[in-house]
Amino acid sequence: MDIQLAVQAFVTLLVIMSPLGNVPVFLALTEGEGVRARRRTAAHALLAAAGLIYLFAFFGTRILAALSIGLPALQASGGVVLFLVALQMLRGDALVPTRAEGVSVAVVPLGVPILAGPGAISAVMVFMTSGDGGQLELMTQVSVALAIAAVLAVIWVVLRYAGAVERLLRPNGIHLVTRVMGMLLVAISIELVATAVQAYAAGASALP
């Protein structure tokens, strides 16, 4: 078990998926539903997000290989996506996404892309890939998988008691937490891009 990697993955995904920041959006999308209906919606959203995240966590590298995309490209693109998400969090953008016609709100937009968005997908693929772009050892993959499960568990608890959380923190408290997470996400995104640039520079210097 790689405890350090598991903690890093847990903190990064928790910041990206921002359960507290998504409380107002969840309540707006489930407005008019009873407590049981909201909890059922939260459970279905978590299942949809978990399925997509674990799919890319375990098979993302094969998808990249099929498309001839290297790890530095993934890190750079993931960093850019996370930076854009961080800017939204810092600005306090809380626009409620449009419901998809004929699709359960638990799947779209709650499960995807609010919870399992491009930022979260990019992050889990980076964590599941070794420094040379290959697959991690089995126990290291298990560490990341458990970190993902822990983040999903936190999100489930927050969404299950979303009404109580909003009353406890109030809008100002939620906005404050969202902005703090946005600042942390900026640092994470810059680190990803810097690592990708270093990898590209090292590869260029190694060429004859």
pLDDT of residue 206: 52
Look at 99-113, 169-183, 188-202 and tell me which has the smallest mean pLDDT. Answer: 99-113
Output the average pLDDT for the chain: 86
pTM confidence score: 0.84
pLDDT of residue 97: 63
pLDDT of residue 204: 58
Residue spans per domain, the chain: 3-198
pLDDT, tens digit, 9 for 90 and up, residues 72-113: 887 788 788 888 878 888 887 655 566 666 678 899 889 988
Stretch 118-126: mean pLDDT: 86
The yes-or-no verdict on residue 190 having pLDDT over 70 is yes
Q: For tokens 């407005």, name the residue.
A: 31
The alpha helices in 22-137, defined as continuous H runs, are: 23-29, 35-66, 71-91, 118-127
Ramachandran angles phi, psi of 105, nearest 5° = -60, -25
By CB neighbour count within 10 A (0-12 exposed, 13-18 middle, 19+ buried), where does 138 fall?
Answer: exposed
